[in-house]
């Protein structure tokens, strides 16, 4: 299983420069308490093995528990308890999770992406094509053909030919 990166992406993950041009990405939103999310993880791991050139990122964007809330006068433990919970969960899953996991500490990414997609529940995933555009959105159990399609598109597509001009 992968470790949670030390960097919390919540402040800048919606920036398009986080995605490398010409690369296919799968971004999945999940939580440790979500049964359907946990059941989808081995499937996502199998797809990551099948498509090693695709960057799979599982975003824990809906974790429950205490966090730093200076606005409410609440101070989290030295390590956010939600991160501790995620680390414990990942360790318990062993090889069932074989793709990168990120933590959206303040929920910025989850709110921005899920709201834009008019999605209210998890698990939810999207495929980002080589051109940086979202090519598919939905439940991770139905993602297979979308990944296959995105991988088949060449990294650089020549410009479309222009019809002859009339003079």
Residues 39-49 have a mean pLDDT of: 97
pLDDT the model gives residue 160? 46
Q: Which of the pair, 100 or 10, is modelled with greater confidence?
A: 100
Top-confidence range, 1-10, 71-80, 87-96? 87-96
- Per-residue pLDDT of 114-154, as tens digits, reads 888 889 899 999 999 998 888 999 999 999 999 999 999 88
Cβ neighbour number for residue 10 with a 10 Å cutoff? 20
| Helical spans, DSSP H, in 7-143 | 35-50, 81-93, 108-116
Question: Does residue 88 carry a pLDDT above 60?
Answer: yes
Better-scored residue on pLDDT, 150 or 113: 150
């Amino acid at each position: 299983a992968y470790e949670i990166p030390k960097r919390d992406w919540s402040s800048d993950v919606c920036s398009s420069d986080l995605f490398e041009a010409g690369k296919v990405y799968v971004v999945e939103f999940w939580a440790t308490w979500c049964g359907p999310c946990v059941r989808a993880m081995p499937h996502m791991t199998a797809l990551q093995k099948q498509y090693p050139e695709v960057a799979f990122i599982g975003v824990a964007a809906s974790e429950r528990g205490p966090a730093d809330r200076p606005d409410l006068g609440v101070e989290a433990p030295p390590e956010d308890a939600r991160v501790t919970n995620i680390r414990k969960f990942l360790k318990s899953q062993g090889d069932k999770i074989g793709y990168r996991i990120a933590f959206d500490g303040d929920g910025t990414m989850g709110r921005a992406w899920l709201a834009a997609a008019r999605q209210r529940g998890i698990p939810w995933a999207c495929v980002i094509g080589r051109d940086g555009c979202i090519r598919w959105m939905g439940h991770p159990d139905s993602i297979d053909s979308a990944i296959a399609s995105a991988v088949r598109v060449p990294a650089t597509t020549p410009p479309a030919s222009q019809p002859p001009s009339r003079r």
